[in-house]
Amino acid sequence: CSKTMSAAVTAKLKEQFEAGLETRADFTIDQPIDRYSAADHAVWRQLYRRQTALLEGRVCDAFLEGVARLNVSAQSVPSFESINRQLKPATGWEIVAVPGLVPDRVFFEHLANRRFPVTWWMRRPDQLDYLQEPDCFHDLFGHVPLLIQPIFADYMHAYGRAALAASDAGALPLLARLYWYTVEFGLIRASDSPNGVQIYGAGIVSSRGETIYSQQSAAPNRLAFDLERVMCTRYRIDTFQKTYFVIDDFEQLFDVARTDFAPLLAKLADAPALAAGDVLATDRVITRGTQEGWKSDGDI
């Protein structure tokens, strides 16, 4: 999350402009489907294959069900229109094409109106394993499958509205952490799985390395989800997470969605932020990390 637009997005906007693609005031464009190259489709195909094979047994069933119900293509970058034909009747959500990270307010406005902004362009073949910005694979494959699940869909909608209100109240860091530790890097309890957890967060689901690490590594903490605890916890944007928060089930997010955030944000306004790797006496610890490979600075 950044206040200003990244250099990459500015470059993308310029590129779109020069290509004659009209960008609207809400940063959306029509998905330029004929601008994908054979290399773009090949990258999609490769990432899709690699992740679906790896995710078997590691990701929660609701995610795989979403991939199947949305008919997400294994072969080529999906047309957003075809995704929306399945998505919109199911939960009222639709995806819209954007040039990349959009300003916070723009992003929350979209979520509050059940529109998920999806970066339209694909990463290059030499960026399969790591990319700092979201691309189409992260946004579409990572985020969209759960939007066909009503409970998760309602959570994202409530989140957008709360974040919009919070950004007026200057409480955005608290809400950004909630997004990070649920939507991007959330784990969910699954008794028969390694460490009793499966994956649902988009940042994990779209990453080969973190798919394995978040579920199986001994290094990170895995703590039971607690709304206030999460909102006070800093996070990492440059390394795998030091701590993952584990929800019992998606109903737990439904309860979060019904929270009255205003009093909570007021209460937490002066609370000290916790380091990404902290474990408190009050935490429900699922696994305590060995801290192997942790960097000592750089929490956001």
- Residue 145 found at the interface with ligand HBI (CB under 6 A): no
With H, G, I as helix, E, B as strand and everything else as coil, classify residue 240.
coil
Examine residue 117 and tell whether it contacts ligand HBI (CB under 6 A): yes
Which tokens hold the place of 214? Answer: 């978040």
Nearer to ligand HBI, 163 or 190 (CB): 163
| CB closer to ligand HBI, 98 vs 187 | 98
Three-state DSSP class for residue 287:
strand
Instruction: Establish if 29 lies at the interface with ligand HBI (CB under 6 A).
Output: no
153 binds, among Fe ion, ligand HBI, none (CB under 5 to 8 A by kind): none
Q: Which stretch binds ligand HBI (CB under 6 A): 95-103, 122-130, 190-198, 274-282?
A: 95-103
Q: How far is the CB of 191 from Fe ion (least distance, A)?
A: 28
Q: Supply the minimum distance, in Å, between the C-beta of residue 160 and ligand HBI.
A: 10
Q: Report if residue 159 touches ligand HBI, rule: CB under 6 A.
A: no
Residues 6 or more apart whose CB falls under 8 angstroms from that of 268 comprise 171, 174, 228, 231, 232
Looking at residues 168 to 207 of the shown chain, list those that interact with ligand HBI (rule: CB under 6 A).
176, 179
3-state SS, residue 279: coil
Candidates 69-77, 102-110, 235-243, 284-292; binding stretch for ligand HBI (CB under 6 A): 102-110
Question: What single string gives the DSSP state of each residue in 83-149?
Answer: HHHHHHHHHS-EEEEESSS--HHHHHHHHHTTEEEEE-SPPPGGGSS--SS--HIIIIIIISGGGGS
Closest CA to 236 of 132, 109, 145, 121: 132
Task: Rule CB under 6 A: choose which of 40, 94, 104, 299 binds ligand HBI.
Answer: 104
Total binding residues for ligand HBI by CB under 6 A?
11
Q: Tell which residue, 180, 288, 186, 281, has the closest CA to residue 235.
A: 180
